Amino acid sequence: MSQYWTDLVHKLDPYIPGEQPQDQQYVKLNTNENPYPPSPKVTATIDNYNKDHLKLYPDPESTQLRQALAQRFGVQQDNVFVGNGSDEVLAHSFQAFFKQSKPLVFPDLSYSFYPVYCGLYEIESKTIPINEDFSININDFDIDNGGIIIPNPNAPTSMLMPLADIEQLCKNNSSVVIIDEAYIDFGGESAIPLTRKYDNLLVIQTFSKSRSLAGLRLGYAIGHKDLIEGLNRVKDSFNSYPIDSLAQTAAVSSIEDDSYFQQTCQKIVQTREQASEQLTRLGFKVLPSAANFIFACHESRSAQELYSELKKAGVLVRYFNKPRIDNYLRITIGTEQEMQKLIATLSKILQQN
């Protein structure tokens, strides 16, 4: 608290990121990072990067990267916006599209950064309760609104919404609909093709999860060129150079190595299915996941206790002390070995009373 803060800063309720502990080596299954290293092509690009370039400002428009993304998704360059992590793309989107006379709507259980941006940009919002089984009933979003945002698959539930539901949202709304596809590469079908049909649809993805580049900070949005222009107006009123030159070139190499990307995503999906089975055998109810994490609750032991016991044993998972989900653990899919360690540790904990 400080007398020098503005009223707005006093009122902020900032996002709390998952722990990145520096004190000991954990099996780290708490922040949905990819357990595999980035593509060897990315590593080679960074190794061979000409450090002389660092004296110059980067390309403010990230032209090559936007070109690579446009090609990958079958859209034009002016349909692509890139930002410093999809969190930045989301923040700019909130500012560009959601400060309206009507409230922004999103599911009551979804990415906890959304209410934080509403606080920062003073956007009125309304949350829509999702079903008891954590599925989303799209008809509940059929209310007067100044915008809609939904993660698909949803976080932290891991559950996927059908594309037909997203199309219905776009059709029935005159406001901007954002689909946050941070986890779409682990088994979902992207809504990007729908952006050609609906000029109010913006799809946001990230290099952090499926491309093992959380530390490089890269995210992007695909949508109608007028939406992209709106985002550029905000970006160029904030920071013209959000993507450094090293990140721009490394990201292009990541896009170019599609086979590595496909392989690692598939490995994570296989490990996820295996881990879900094993957890079910240990007495967990595991929600059907289309993401690189699972959301699970145990039949008799509290999630908070399991979280603490796991941490003591060197395994970090995510626990949310929030109504409706305070008996669930969110567990990132690690390597097969890491998941074996998780299962073995849990078995031991569950045998004690």
* Residues engaged in binding ligand PLP (CB under 6 A): 32, 85-87, 111, 151, 155, 180, 182, 206, 208, 214, 219
Residue whose CB is less far from ligand PLP, 111 or 141: 111
Task: Give me the least distance between CB of 208 and ligand PLP, in Å please.
Answer: 3
Chain center to CA of 56: 31
Which residue has tokens 């990267």? 65
Residue whose CB is less far from ligand PLP, 180 or 185: 180
Residue whose CB is less far from ligand PLP, 32 or 232: 32
Task: Give me the least distance between CB of 287 and ligand PLP, in Å please.
Answer: 15
Task: Give me the least distance between CB of 330 and ligand PLP, in Å please.
Answer: 10
- Three-class DSSP category at 311: helix
Residue whose CB is less far from ligand PLP, 93 or 200: 93
What is the DSSP annotation of 184-247?
GGGT---SGGGGGT-TTEEEEEESSSTTS-TTT--EEEEE-HHHHHHHHHHHTTT-S--S-HHH
Task: Give me the least distance between CB of 154 and ligand PLP, in Å please.
Answer: 8
**Residue 202 contacts residue 222 (beta carbons within 8 Å):** yes
Closest among 42, 41, 37, 145 to 98, alpha carbons compared: 145
**Residue 269 contacts residue 183 (beta carbons within 8 Å):** no
Contacts of 134 (CB under 8 A, 6+ apart): 109, 154, 157, 159, 287, 295
**Residue 261 contacts residue 210 (beta carbons within 8 Å):** yes
Task: Give me the least distance between CB of 159 and ligand PLP, in Å please.
Answer: 13
Residue whose CB is less far from ligand PLP, 118 or 349: 118
- Three-class DSSP category at 135: coil
Task: Give me the least distance between CB of 259 and ligand PLP, in Å please.
Answer: 23
Residue whose CB is less far from ligand PLP, 255 or 346: 255
Task: Give me the least distance between CB of 308 and ligand PLP, in Å please.
Answer: 24
Task: Give me the least distance between CB of 182 and ligand PLP, in Å please.
Answer: 4
Residue whose CB is less far from ligand PLP, 187 or 219: 219
C-alpha span between 256 and 72 (Å, rounded): 9
- Three-class DSSP category at 319: strand
Closest among 146, 149, 145 to 99, alpha carbons compared: 146
C-alpha span between 312 and 314 (Å, rounded): 5
Residue whose CB is less far from ligand PLP, 81 or 345: 81
Tokens of 23: 């004190």
Question: In this structure, what are the phi and psi dihedrals at residue 298, rounded to the nearest 5 degrees?
Answer: -90, 150
Residue whose CB is less far from ligand PLP, 32 or 190: 32
